[in-house]
Amino acid sequence: MHKHLKTYFIVFWLIIFLSGCDSLFPTPIAKILQNPRKYEGKQVTVSGRVVESFGLVVVRYFVVKDDTGEITVVTERSLPRKGEQIKVTGRVEEAFSIGDQQLIVIKEEQEKK
């Protein structure tokens, strides 16, 4: 009985630890796009291939695509190359909404120095 109690205790704490580690495991892009209200303002990590990038003086963004979909990432850093595999962490935001169309983006967070 004592052995099982120790095993349950370890499993319990492992579950608690992993549930708080969303930024360690990439979120599928489709999950964010299918339920943006759930992710609004929350930090997520996505991983995928850069399929497009665009930069002007006032705005820089790139599009990341994984096996489930693609999402726009707004950044202040230098832009990644098209085709580059990348892992990005940032906050989910609604850039704009017109009628039933909305643009959901990830605002990349700067690494703290």
pLDDT of residue 58: 81
Per the domain annotation, does 3 fall within a domain? no
Number of domains the chain contains: 1
Task: Please give the mean pLDDT across all residues of the chain.
Answer: 84
pLDDT of residue 107: 94
CA–CA distance, 84 with 43 (Å, rounded to integer): 22
Per the domain annotation, does 34 fall within a domain? yes
Element (H, E) at 64: strand 60-65
pLDDT band for 98, please (50, 70, 90 cuts). confident
Per the domain annotation, does 93 fall within a domain? yes
Residue type, 3: K
Tell me which long-range contacts 59-67 makes (C-beta under 8 A, separation of at least 24). 61/105, 64/29, 64/88, 65/29, 66/26, 66/28, 66/29, 67/28
pLDDT of residue 110: 73
Q: For residue 73, count CB atoms less than 10 angstroms from its CB and return exposed for 0-12, middle for 13-18, buried for 19 or more.
A: buried
pTM of the model: 0.75
Per the domain annotation, does 59 fall within a domain? yes
Range of the domain at 56: 24-108
Per the domain annotation, does 2 fall within a domain? no
Per the domain annotation, does 86 fall within a domain? yes
Q: Please write the tens of the pLDDT for every residue from 28-76.
A: 999 999 999 999 999 999 999 999 999 887 889 999 999 999 999 999 9
- 85 Cβ contact partners less than 8 Å away, ≥ 6 residues apart: 47, 48, 49
Q: What is the CATH number of the domain that holds 97?
A: 2.40.50.140
